[in-house]
């Protein structure tokens, strides 16, 4: 790296990238040197708001004229492969938003391109970095509930997600790929790899193309069973968005993440409770603050990995395993049987 600051650029300055831009500004050893959006007005606005010295409406031009230590791709899924492969050709380490890509082949190609170029690749899989979900992970890793044998990881809401992300209404694969991918990733974190997935999907909301509810049952290699369910069309009071609720039972007790970010742990007959909400930052607000703060945690992890040469927790290769669960869930729903995830 040229000096003690890590020089980065963001491609895609739309809805969710605003969180990325705030978070990069909060990481002291990062200097954003460029932003890019094919919509020049968005690129220019991001450069002005976040005091970034250069903006582009063409990613090729940006790579040709900037010396970058990393690039952060925050565009929507159909553009990821071309942009990741472009970054790989310029040998620039890359972090890219979820979902990784529309197809398995695209995901494998991106991992291959970055491996061949010798540059790290991380998927911005931020649920792993949410404070409440990390608190549950710490309970499991400390052995407080013994060996987990059953779990439920659940994200259900009626929040109008399509108002902020209108492209989702047109997706031919909707909630499992957009949101299930986060929750399936947490099932991997809590229970390890799965050997089979059984899924049922439903479309409740009109005026969308694909499923907005999914219920999945996983058999993990450890022997544990998990239920992963997600919905964008639930009428619930109080409205939980964007909270993930967790219930895990193990040989010594259980851990639950309840509505309102209250975690209860039963360990060897003794119960304790803890509030595990994310802190509010100057640029975060309810109800999005948990997701927003996780962006900062995710990006900090990426920079620490760049500095130390460690593989990111959610490297491209790791994310292939989560993507394989998404793929298996769609195949299972179509074929009405349990299926094994791709290797």
Q: Which stretch binds ligand NAD (CB under 6 A): 95-103, 246-254, 264-272, 320-328?
A: 95-103
- Classify burial at 285, counting beta carbons within 10 Å of its beta carbon; exposed 0-12, middle 13-18, buried 19 or more: exposed
Q: Which stretch binds ligand NAD (CB under 6 A): 22-30, 33-41, 183-191, 221-229?
A: 33-41
For ligand 89V, give the closer residue by CB, 69 or 185: 185
CA atoms of 257 and 322, how far apart (whole Å)? 22
Q: Which residue is nearest to ligand NAD (CB)?
A: 14
- Binding stretches for ligand 89V (CB under 6 A): 178-179, 182, 242, 291
Q: What is the 3-state secondary structure (H, E, C) of the chain?
A: CCCCCEEEEEECCCCCHHHHHHHHHHCCCEEEEEEECCCHHHHHHHHHHCCCCEEECCHHHHHHHCCCCEEEECCCHHHHHHHHHHHHHCCCCEEEECCCCCCHHHHHHHHHHHHHHCCCEEEECHHHHCHHHHHHHHHHHCCCCCCEEEEEEEEECCCCHHHHCHHHHHCCCCHHHHHHHHHHHHHHHHHCCEEEEEEEEECCCCCCCCCCEEEEEEEECCCCEEEEEEECCCCCCCCCCCCCEEEEEECCEEEEEECCCEEEEEECCEEEEEECCCCCCCCCCCCCHHHHHHHHHHHHHHHHHHHHCCCCCCEHHHHHHHHHHHHHHHHHHHHCCCECCCC
Enumerate residues 11-30 that contact ligand NAD by CB under 6 A: 11-17
Select from ligand 89V, ligand NAD, none the partner in contact with residue 42, using the beta carbon and a kind-dependent cut-off of 5 to 8 Å. Answer: ligand NAD
Select from ligand 89V, ligand NAD, none the partner in contact with residue 103, using the beta carbon and a kind-dependent cut-off of 5 to 8 Å. Answer: none
| Residue 102 sits in the site that holds ligand NAD (CB under 6 A) | no
Q: Which stretch binds ligand NAD (CB under 6 A): 2-10, 74-82, 112-120, 128-136?
A: 74-82
**Crossing angle of helices 289-308 and 131-141, rounded to 10°:** 60
Q: How far is the CB of 68 from ligand 89V (least distance, A)?
A: 25
| Residue 304 sits in the site that holds ligand NAD (CB under 6 A) | no
Q: Which x/- pattern over 171-210 shows residues binding ligand NAD (rule: CB under 6 A)?
A: -------x--------------------------------
Joined together, the tokens standing for residue 246 give 């967790």
Q: Which stretch binds ligand NAD (CB under 6 A): 6-14, 114-122, 264-272, 300-308?
A: 6-14
Pick from 5, 7, 26, 38 the residue near ligand NAD by CB under 6 A: 38
For ligand 89V, give the closer residue by CB, 20 or 90: 20
Select from ligand 89V, ligand NAD, none the partner in contact with residue 76, using the beta carbon and a kind-dependent cut-off of 5 to 8 Å. Answer: ligand NAD
The length of the chain is 343
For ligand 89V, give the closer residue by CB, 28 or 163: 163
For ligand NAD, give the closer residue by CB, 126 or 322: 126
Q: How far is the CB of 320 from ligand NAD (least distance, A)?
A: 17
For ligand NAD, give the closer residue by CB, 145 or 214: 214
Residue 272's CB: how many other CB atoms inside 10 A?
11
Q: How far is the CB of 241 from ligand 89V (least distance, A)?
A: 7
Pick from 8, 94, 119, 126 the residue near ligand NAD by CB under 6 A: 126
Strand partners, 225: 150, 219
Pick from 10, 30, 35, 59 the residue near ligand NAD by CB under 6 A: 59
Contact 82, 94 (CB under 8 A): no
Query: Using CB under 6 A as the criterion, which residues of the chain lie in contact with ligand NAD when the complex forms?
Result: 11-17, 36-39, 42, 59, 74-77, 79, 83, 97-99, 124, 126, 165, 178, 291
């Amino acid at each position: 790296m040229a000096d003690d600051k890590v020089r980065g650029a963001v491609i895609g300055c739309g809805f969710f990238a605003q969180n990325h831009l705030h978070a990069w500004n909060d990481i002291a050893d990062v200097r954003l040197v460029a932003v890019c959006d094919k919509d020049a007005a968005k690129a220019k606005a991001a450069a002005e708001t976040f005091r970034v010295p250069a903006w582009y409406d063409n990613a090729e031009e940006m790579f040709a004229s900037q010396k970058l230590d990393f690039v952060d791709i925050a565009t929507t899924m159909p553009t990821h492969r071309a942009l990741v492969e472009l970054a790989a050709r310029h040998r620039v380490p890359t972090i890219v938003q979820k979902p990784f890509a529309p197809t398995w082949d695209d995901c494998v190609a991106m991992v291959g391109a970055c491996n061949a170029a010798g540059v790290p690749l991380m998927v911005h899989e931020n649920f792993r970095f949410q404070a409440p979900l990390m608190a549950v992970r710490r309970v499991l890793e400390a052995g407080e509930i013994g060996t987990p044998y059953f779990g439920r990881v659940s994200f259900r809401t009626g929040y109008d997600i399509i108002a902020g992300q209108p492209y989702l209404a047109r997706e031919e694969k909707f909630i499992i790929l957009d949101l299930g991918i986060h929750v399936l990733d947490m099932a991997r974190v809590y229970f390890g790899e799965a050997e089979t997935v059984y899924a049922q999907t439903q479309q409740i909301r009109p005026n969308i193309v694909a499923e907005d509810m999914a219920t999945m049952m996983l058999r993990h290699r450890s022997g544990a069973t998990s239920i992963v369910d997600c919905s964008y069309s639930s009428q619930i009071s109080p409205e939980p968005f964007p909270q993930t609720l967790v219930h895990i039972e193990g040989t010594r007790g259980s851990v639950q993440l309840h509505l309102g970010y209250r975690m209860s742990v039963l360990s060897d007959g003794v119960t304790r409770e803890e509030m595990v909400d994310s802190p509010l930052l100057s640029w975060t607000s309810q109800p999005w603050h948990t997701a927003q703060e996780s962006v900062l945690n995710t990006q900090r992890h990426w920079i620490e990995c760049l500095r130390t040469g460690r593989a990111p927790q959610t490297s491209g290769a790791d994310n292939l395993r989560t993507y394989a669960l998404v793929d298996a869930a769609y195949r299972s729903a179509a074929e009405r049987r349990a299926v094994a995830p791709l290797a």
